[in-house]
Amino acid sequence: MAKLKSSGNQQKKSVLSKTISFFIQSEYHAYLVGGYVRDTTIGIEHRDIDLVVEGDAIRAAKQLNKKLKGNLDIHKKFGTASITTKQMRIDLASARVEKYASPAKLPHVYPSAINEDLNRRDFTMNAMAMSISNENFGEIFDPFNGMEDIKKGVIRILHKESFNDDPTRIFRALRYKNRFGFKIAKTTKALMTEAINKRMIQRLSDQRILNEIRLIFNETNNQDIIKDISNLTSLKIRKKDMELLPVLGSNRMYFYLSKLKYFNFPITSDEKRLVKDFHDFGNTITRLDKATKHSEIFAILSPISSEVIDIMPAVLPKLRRNVRIFRQLEKKKLFVTGNDLKRLGYKPGVKFRSILNRMRDWQLDRKIRNRKEALEYLRNIKH
């Protein structure tokens, strides 16, 4: 096992060293930036690499990928490219300055040099670069004293418009705060609160908010982040719901989404189903707790996703019995089907469905014991 891990790291290192040696030998000025520099400074591993290339990053990416043989994605409009190899992802961006067309909208892009590129970044700890070019290899660019802030454990924005320019930074600050156990600097906190009060988050598209929520739930300590978000922003959940998060496992994001009003998140239909099930979760649990007849248990749980049903006993242990009963009921083969009804002359429609449900309920509650009894009953009632 240990060997496997180290060979994975080895391959990762080889992607990194191939990348570095490519840039040392090339005519490009390139820099490691952002998370990679930050995490290396902190002394932890960072999965992906962000590179800033002074000049045409797309052209550089195409050449680099001849060596790495990964998947190359090009975003012409932004002058960026990414290479995905088995081991890691490398994002390349052309050094640029961004002029914000209007707050919270995606930026316009103009070419420029590394220092200007660092100026547009979110926090001092993310605004550091290390040259990987031949002439000044290893030189650190740290115009905002990011190293110092990392040492102090402080999250600090670069200028007072930062949260207005990009309100996703509110979520990012809270993510880093909880991930690293850092503090948000006093002025940064005040400007963050001001942006929240000015409803800057509401200017973001639902897609961008969803991206941030997904990133939060990828973090180990997502509950602490949600707690902060709930305390500070309008994306709140009640204390009672917050307490449920620990038992919800990998589904907790859908539970959280189900508690947020006024959004129309672009999620898949499977995800929508989970959100809907969680929306009625409290109600379903109360009904299931009171249910005694098998037919009732079945009616309550059959529309609910299996994952959500599995979570219920963790929320209320006494539900274990009714969930177990449901799992047995699910396996039962029904005595009569729609085809039987059609054969007996019933016409599909509301009444048809209700008779079918009644037969199912009677079977589950053992009011009829076999197919013969069921068919006999169907022949005898008028239709």
Residues near ligand CTP (CB under 6 A): 34-35, 50, 121-122, 126, 166, 168-169, 172
Q: Which is nearer to ligand CTP, 166 or 228 (CB)?
A: 166
Q: Which is nearer to ligand CTP, 26 or 119 (CB)?
A: 119
- In contact, 167 and 104? CB cutoff 8 Å: yes
- Taking the complex as a whole, how short is the minimal distance between the CB of residue 80 and ligand CTP, in angstroms? 11
- Taking the complex as a whole, how short is the minimal distance between the CB of residue 245 and ligand CTP, in angstroms? 21
Q: Which is nearer to ligand CTP, 122 or 241 (CB)?
A: 122
Q: How far apart are the first and last CA of the chain?
A: 68
- Taking the complex as a whole, how short is the minimal distance between the CB of residue 95 and ligand CTP, in angstroms? 13
Residue 15 CA: distances (Å) to CA of 3, 56, 128, 159, 250: 19, 21, 22, 35, 31
- Taking the complex as a whole, how short is the minimal distance between the CB of residue 20 and ligand CTP, in angstroms? 18
- Taking the complex as a whole, how short is the minimal distance between the CB of residue 274 and ligand CTP, in angstroms? 25
Rounded to the nearest 5°, which phi and psi values hold at 136? Answer: -135, 40
- In contact, 345 and 370? CB cutoff 8 Å: no
Rounded to the nearest 5°, which phi and psi values hold at 83? Answer: -115, 125
- Taking the complex as a whole, how short is the minimal distance between the CB of residue 309 and ligand CTP, in angstroms? 34
By three-state DSSP, how is residue 108 classified? strand
Q: Which is nearer to ligand CTP, 70 or 284 (CB)?
A: 70
- Taking the complex as a whole, how short is the minimal distance between the CB of residue 37 and ligand CTP, in angstroms? 8
Q: Which is nearer to ligand CTP, 181 or 246 (CB)?
A: 181
What does the alpha-carbon distance between residue 130 and residue 153 come to, in Å, rounded to a whole number?
21
- In contact, 215 and 209? CB cutoff 8 Å: no
Q: Which is nearer to ligand CTP, 29 or 175 (CB)?
A: 175
Residue 114 CA: distances (Å) to CA of 119, 164, 270: 9, 23, 43
- In contact, 109 and 93? CB cutoff 8 Å: no
Residues 6 or more apart whose CB falls under 8 angstroms from that of 355 comprise 341, 346, 378, 381, 383
Q: Which is nearer to ligand CTP, 35 or 313 (CB)?
A: 35
What does the alpha-carbon distance between residue 332 and residue 370 come to, in Å, rounded to a whole number?
12
